[in-house]
Amino acid sequence: MSSRALLVARTDGETTRLRLRDVGLLRTDLRILREGERLAFPLTEIGTVPPSWGEVGVREFASVEPAGPRDYRDLLDLPGIDRDALPRSFDIVGDVVVIRLPEALLDRRTEIGAALLRFVPSARVVGVDRGVKGTERRRDLERIAGEGGWSTRHRENGLDIDVDLERAYFSPRLAHEHERVAGEVGTGEEILDLCCGVGPFSLAFARDGRAAHVTAVDSNPAAIELLRRSSARYAFGSRVEPRLAALEEFLPDAPPSDRVVLNLPLEGIKYLPSVATAVRPSGRVHYYEVVPRTALERRGSEIVRSLGRPGSWELVERHVVHPYSPRSDLISFTIERAAE
């Protein structure tokens, strides 16, 4: 855009900027231009510039991009609804955005969806997340803005993972946990990823080049199919063996392993006695469970007891992965089998 301009030496730049600003002569909708050793400041039309400040001319300037909103709620004006009643957080999975809405906001979901679609640059579709359901923990989603389905490719810890939020479980909130456990894996380990979903743990274990073999087990055919697709993308994918099976049929013949992940947070406990028989001496189990905050202190020892003989297992670490409900958290327990 063309504008009156003040041309000064670069060395006088900051003094000039402050002078012009203080007298209201500096245009803030245009970018200051650099011309070799000179700067061109865009000037407002009102007011005369003292000749001693520099040479006045005309220049073409680029516009200053207006600063985008920092919060999707800045794009919403819902009469009768307090901004603080709107959820602050939402998940981004590939080009899909999902948000949980309280009952009272459901009739405003179209406006909320439109605001999220504008706010997230990579968003193609926005859905209301009505929770994960059934054994396969599939998400119940309703599209509220944008187009297309729930199949996408999500980038996590440098990996491209095929996801279909409606057909198989995936949560971007576990990214740190996937990476953390992968960081523990030692060279040549044989690993079981039980209830692997679309395989973010397995892919991270194989990617780091240390795991010799990862058996990834899930009873949901869609999850196993998506894992096959993701691992086919990488040379290291040959070290991941996706297995479509229920734990009930897989565990009795599970191969001896150095590390086992069991991520079935609401009912995994019933499988721990059979998981224990698959773990080699000094091997570890990474077990995930939703635990009420009031029960956290005693839960570790209950889990250790469910694995087997007293003294043969030890809880080596425990931490909160993320809050699950107002009174419970998803907890990561790391339990180690004694050396023989």
Q: Which one among 32, 163, 174, 275 touches ligand SAM, defined by CB under 6 A?
A: 174
Using CB under 6 A as the binding rule, whether residue 220 contacts ligand SAM is answered as yes
Q: Which one among 53, 169, 205, 313 touches ligand SAM, defined by CB under 6 A?
A: 169
Q: Which one among 42, 127, 146, 200 touches ligand SAM, defined by CB under 6 A?
A: 200
Using CB under 6 A as the binding rule, whether residue 197 contacts ligand SAM is answered as yes
Coil, strand or helix at 52: helix
Q: How far is CA 251 from each of CA 123, 248, 255, 262, 274, rounded to the nearest angstrom?
A: 40, 6, 9, 12, 6
Tell the residue number behind the tokens 């490719």, with chain if given: 153
Minimum CB distance to ligand SAM smaller for 247 or for 272: 247
Contact between 202 and 228 (Cβ < 8 Å) = no
Give strand pairing partners of 320.
Answer: 331
Binding span for ligand SAM by CB under 6 A among 158-166, 181-189, 197-205, 312-320: 197-205
Using CB under 6 A as the binding rule, whether residue 170 contacts ligand SAM is answered as yes
DSSP assignments along 254-278, one per residue: PPPEEEEEEE-TTTGGGGHHHHHTT
Burial (0-12, 13-18, 19+ Cβ within 10 Å), 225: middle
CB of 23 to ligand SAM, least distance (A): 60
Minimum CB distance to ligand SAM smaller for 76 or for 195: 195
Using CB under 6 A as the binding rule, whether residue 201 contacts ligand SAM is answered as yes
Using CB under 6 A as the binding rule, whether residue 268 contacts ligand SAM is answered as no
Minimum CB distance to ligand SAM smaller for 216 or for 279: 216
Question: What is the Cα Rg of the chain in Å?
Answer: 28
Binding to ligand SAM (CB under 6 A): which residues in 122-141? Answer: 135-137
Binding span for ligand SAM by CB under 6 A among 16-24, 145-153, 212-220, 327-335: 212-220
Q: How many CB atoms lie within 10 A of CB 84?
A: 7
Using CB under 6 A as the binding rule, whether residue 157 contacts ligand SAM is answered as no
Tell the residue number behind the tokens 């923990």, with chain if given: 137
| Spatial CA neighbour of 229 closest among 212, 219, 210, 242 | 242
CB of 255 to ligand SAM, least distance (A): 16
- Measure the CA–CA gap between 313 and 283, rounded to whole angstroms: 10
CB of 112 to ligand SAM, least distance (A): 26
Using CB under 6 A as the binding rule, whether residue 164 contacts ligand SAM is answered as no
CB of 143 to ligand SAM, least distance (A): 22
Minimum CB distance to ligand SAM smaller for 1 or for 320: 320
CB of 281 to ligand SAM, least distance (A): 25
- Measure the CA–CA gap between 340 and 185, rounded to whole angstroms: 20
Q: Which one among 246, 295, 316, 320 touches ligand SAM, defined by CB under 6 A?
A: 246
- Measure the CA–CA gap between 305 and 138, rounded to whole angstroms: 31
Q: How far is CA 12 from each of CA 17, 32, 88, rounded to the nearest angstrom?
A: 9, 13, 45
**Cα torsion for 159, 160, 164, 170, to the nearest 10°?**
10
Using CB under 6 A as the binding rule, whether residue 251 contacts ligand SAM is answered as no
CB of 296 to ligand SAM, least distance (A): 20
Using CB under 6 A as the binding rule, whether residue 218 contacts ligand SAM is answered as yes
- Measure the CA–CA gap between 170 and 165, rounded to whole angstroms: 6
Minimum CB distance to ligand SAM smaller for 61 or for 170: 170
**DSSP H helical segments within 136-271, as ranges?**
175-182, 200-207, 221-232, 247-250
CB of 264 to ligand SAM, least distance (A): 5
The residues binding ligand SAM (CB under 6 A) are: 135-137, 168-170, 174, 195-197, 200-201, 217-220, 223, 246-247, 263-264
